[in-house]
Amino acid sequence: MQDSALISIGLPIALMIIMAGMGLSLTVDHFRRELAQPRAVIVGTLAQALVMPGLAFVIIAVLDLPPMLAVGLVILAACPGGTTSNLITYLAGANLALSIALTVTASVLTVLSLPIYVGLALGNSGGVGAGLSLPLADTVGTLAVVILLPVALGMLLKAKRPDVAAALERGVGVFGMVVLVTLIVGIAASIWDRLPTLLVQAGPACIMLNLLGIAIGLAVSRLSGLRFVDALTVSVELGVKNGTLGLLVALNLLKSTEAAVPSAVYGLLMYVSAIALVIAGRKLLLAANACAYPCGLPRVSFSRAVWSQTWIRALGLCP
């Protein structure tokens, strides 16, 4: 599948459109507000750039993943969040401005960090990946073109023609979902005979990366003194990955269908935890607003408390 026109031409173009769509929702004020109090951006960015790839290597060692699936998991872990993480953050009632800032900063870092992490994974593949490499110059150039340039163009259009940007933005999310589903179906068809085995091998690793990423994001953020609303945002960014970018790296740059399996599997499984984050996040934020103690959050009126005071205090929403 990795040699088809859909992958070599269609995937980069589709990802550029998706990233431009993210730019359509961005303004300079998003960054100005968050950089005025940068702790949340710094914590979230470091967790994405250091903790998630490190977690992937730990999972690989614990589960003894096959070499190319291990490489694929590292690719996935090194990928930033995308427009989906921004959408989940919005639906959960968390900090959308922070989510967008984290997605952009992580995307910039990914251009440089992802080749390094993938090189380490290939070096630990026990010789299976000896014939494969991720060319640094091509990778940095490709990621810059498909991530940074479209975002900048989207922001420019937003600044010049906000009415056009608003109209286009609505369709980009749907387009991104169609692209991801199409790619997942195509990958499944190309490795159909080995698919059950690969799913059994990659599934647990993807679930662990997803759930542990969310938990670590929440824990690190709270330990760093971030408000719960910001901690929830960081956990969404760590748990919801840009699976389309992972597929691009595995299929176009690394030329490995097997390395693309974790991104494809994760691209489906992450929506289960994402829905749970939306439901739980909204309930917890509402519960914090109902708390009798000052939480630093805007108060909302509603008929009854949704979670017990014990859970609220345990999660640190109230003193």
More confident residue, 74 or 172: 74
Longest dimension (CA), the chain: 63
Residue 291 per-residue DSSP state: -
What is the residue-wise DSSP string for 123-160? HTSTTTTTT----HHHHHHHHIIIIIHHHHHHHHHHHH
For the chain, the domain total comes to 1
pLDDT at 215: 94
CA separation for the pair 96, 34 (Å, rounded):
11
CA separation for the pair 249, 72 (Å, rounded):
9
Local confidence band at 303 (pLDDT 50, 70, 90 cut-offs): very low
Q: What range defines the domain where residue 25 resides?
A: 5-281
Q: Is the pLDDT of residue 130 over 60?
A: no
Per-residue buried b or exposed e for 102-139, using 16+ beta carbons within 10 Å of the residue's own CB: bbbbbbbbbbebbbebbbebbeebeeebeebebeeeeb
Q: What is the mean pLDDT of the chain?
A: 77
pLDDT at 246: 87
CA separation for the pair 45, 19 (Å, rounded):
18
Residue 296 per-residue DSSP state: S
Q: With respect to residue 90, please indicate whether it lies within any of the assigned structural domains.
A: yes
pLDDT at 207: 94
Mean of pLDDT values over 35-48: 88
Q: Comparing C-alpha atoms, which of 248, 304, 261, 301 is closest to residue 110?
A: 248
Q: Is the pLDDT of residue 177 over 70?
A: no
Local confidence band at 139 (pLDDT 50, 70, 90 cut-offs): low
pLDDT at 5: 53
CA separation for the pair 286, 265 (Å, rounded):
33
Give strand ranges (E) for the chain: none
Q: Comparing C-alpha atoms, which of 23, 31, 30, 29 is closest to residue 165?
A: 23
Local confidence band at 208 (pLDDT 50, 70, 90 cut-offs): very high
Q: Comparing C-alpha atoms, which of 265, 235, 9, 42 is closest to residue 142?
A: 9
Q: Comparing C-alpha atoms, which of 17, 37, 139 is closest to residue 97?
A: 37
Q: With respect to residue 19, please indicate whether it lies within any of the assigned structural domains.
A: yes
More confident residue, 161 or 130: 161
The pLDDT tens digits of the residues spanning 80-119 come to: 887 778 778 877 878 877 887 888 888 888 888 888 898 8
Q: Is the pTM of this model over 0.85?
A: no
Q: Is the pLDDT of residue 77 over 80?
A: yes
pLDDT at 306: 42
Which one-letter amino acid corresponds to residue 133? S
Q: Please report which helix (H) or strand (E) contains residue 209, including its range.
A: helix 195-223
Q: With respect to residue 173, please indicate whether it lies within any of the assigned structural domains.
A: yes
Could you tell me the two tokens for 285? 């934020």
pLDDT at 301: 39
pLDDT at 233: 92
pLDDT at 10: 66
Q: With respect to residue 176, please indicate whether it lies within any of the assigned structural domains.
A: yes
Mean of pLDDT values over 11-21: 75
Mean of pLDDT values over 154-180: 78
The pLDDT tens digits of the residues spanning 244-294 come to: 788 888 888 788 888 888 988 887 788 788 888 888 888 877 766 665 444
Q: With respect to residue 182, please indicate whether it lies within any of the assigned structural domains.
A: yes
pLDDT at 57: 95
Q: With respect to residue 289, please indicate whether it lies within any of the assigned structural domains.
A: no
Q: With respect to residue 311, please indicate whether it lies within any of the assigned structural domains.
A: no
Could you tell me the two tokens for 194? 């080995």
CATH of the domain at 232: 1.20.1530.20
More confident residue, 50 or 3: 50
- Inter-residue contact 70 to 233 (CB < 8 Å): no
Q: With respect to residue 86, please indicate whether it lies within any of the assigned structural domains.
A: yes
Could you tell me the two tokens for 4? 């088809």
- Inter-residue contact 118 to 78 (CB < 8 Å): yes
CA separation for the pair 285, 94 (Å, rounded):
8
